[in-house]
Amino acid sequence: MSNNPSFILNKINDVSFEDRPVPEIKDPHYVKIQVKKTGICGSDVHYYTHGAIGQFVVKEPMVLGHESAGVIVEVGEAVTSLKVGDRVAMEPGIPSRYSDEYKSGHYNLCPHMAFAATPPYDGTLCRYYLLPEDFCVKLPDHVSLEEGALAEPLSVGVHVSKQASVVPGDVAVVFGAGPVGLLIASCALAFGATKVVAVDLFQSKLDLAKEIGITHTFIPTKGDTPQQSAQKIWDLLGEKPTVAVDASGAEPSIQTAIQVLKEGGRYVQAGMGRDNITFPIADFCSKELTAKGCFRYGFGDYKLAVEFIASGKVPAAKLITHRFKFTEAEEAFKTVMSGKAVKVIIDGPEDEE
């Protein structure tokens, strides 16, 4: 049965709308969701403009989108935690239940992950989408579906804070104040950090950081060395940070992050940059720093992201700058690519379409 309008990436810079078949529940633990709100992520844009991210190459037409929330319209016969009409945030990556990574508690690292809008898997910019019930997080009544869609990037912020072992009293610095960087900074505060510095080259991004409650902001001075930038951040804070996160992927930011950390500090790489960079290994060793990578999110991260939104600890909705109808999806992507938006939300297909 067709009646599942979908926004399709055919090839680089070539998108279209297509009526796909309505998916049918075949696993009794799955639910069918009518997608209501979807955010645009940087990875969606990268597939749009480049057709690939690393080893993941778009070879067949693919539905875009993975930051979504919607309403349950059908449940499998074994589903017990959800019912028709429930509003849910949709965690868009399903691991193999048989992988070592899943069994060891690191399902985000599963090599067999079926992740929405990552080739060869279709995404969520459509009317109907299927998920296992345990990859849906029910939204409290006062949390909007737009906020539910923002649970996806916010879950990255939650995972970063866990990777960095943020505890009350920590002082953190986050390099890069794009949507994910801002959510990482806000999560650090929610985890108990007393001071958080957002670092970026653009004042407009740092103004938004202030608006969502980030305690300090910093613009690097052109021509400064990483050591000089680190000293200015120390002067700004009155102390050395215990946690540093790079959400930019920029080599100077990574170098500054290592320089700025207090001895024994923790560093997390959240942004994707060039494959190889010059890294200050001597300072890393002499300070006895701990460094970790970060890939998406793991067990409990989505649920905690929704709780942070519901409690008001993370004002994620303030990041939304533009909203578009489903039929305006191409315009929504072009708005993101123009650099004019912070966070864009696309409505699901209207019922009468």
CA separation for the pair 65, 53 (Å, rounded): 15
State the pLDDT confidence band at 1, using cuts at 50, 70 and 90: low
How far is C-alpha 212 from the chain's CA centre? 17
Q: Which two tokens stand for residue 209?
A: 């950081």
Cβ-based neighbours of 47, under 8 Å, separated by 6 or more: 9, 53, 58, 62, 64, 117, 119
Q: Which pTM value belongs to this model?
A: 0.96
**The length of the chain, given as a count of residues:** 353
- Tell me: pLDDT of 352 over 60: no
The whole-chain average pLDDT of the chain stands at: 97
Contact criterion met (CB below 8 Å) for 298 and 319: no
The angle at the Cα of 150, spanning 319 to 301, to the nearest 5 degrees, equals 125
- Residue-wise over 143-159: b if at least 16 C-beta within 10 A, else e? bbbbbbbbbbbbbbbbb
Cβ-based neighbours of 282, under 8 Å, separated by 6 or more: none
Q: Which two tokens stand for residue 88?
A: 């849910």
Contact criterion met (CB below 8 Å) for 11 and 36: no
Which residue type, as a one-letter code, is found at position 284? Answer: F
- Tell me: pLDDT of 353 over 50: no
Q: Domain residues of the chain, as ranges? A: 2-138+315-347, 156-293
- Tell me: pLDDT of 5 over 70: yes
Percentage above 70 pLDDT, the chain = 99
- CATH homologous superfamily for 156-293? NAD(P)-binding Rossmann-like Domain (3.40.50.720)
Looking only at Cα atoms, what is the longest distance across the chain?
A: 64
Each residue's pLDDT tens digit, 183-192? 999 999 999 9
Contact criterion met (CB below 8 Å) for 316 and 304: no
Each residue's pLDDT tens digit, 280-323? 999 999 999 999 999 999 999 999 999 999 999 999 999 999 99
What local confidence, expressed as pLDDT, does residue 350 receive? 84
Contact criterion met (CB below 8 Å) for 314 and 161: no
Q: In terms of Cα–Cα distance, which of 81, 80, 53 is closest to 66?
A: 53
Q: Alpha-carbon dihedral of residues 192, 239, 284, 42, nearest 10 degrees?
A: 50
Q: In angstroms, what CA-CA distances link 90 with 86, 98, 175, 265?
A: 12, 22, 28, 34
Contact criterion met (CB below 8 Å) for 246 and 266: no
Q: At what angle do helices 145-163 and 301-311 cross, to 10 degrees?
A: 120
What local confidence, expressed as pLDDT, does residue 228 receive? 98
Each residue's pLDDT tens digit, 161-179? 999 999 999 999 999 999 9
Is CATH 3.90.180.10 the right assignment for the domain spanning 2-138+315-347?
A: yes
Percentage above 90 pLDDT, the chain = 96
Contact criterion met (CB below 8 Å) for 177 and 198: yes
Q: Which two tokens stand for residue 308?
A: 């942070």
CA separation for the pair 87, 70 (Å, rounded): 6
Q: Which two tokens stand for residue 202?
A: 């653009």
CA separation for the pair 218, 82 (Å, rounded): 45
Pairing of strands 2-11, 62-63: antiparallel
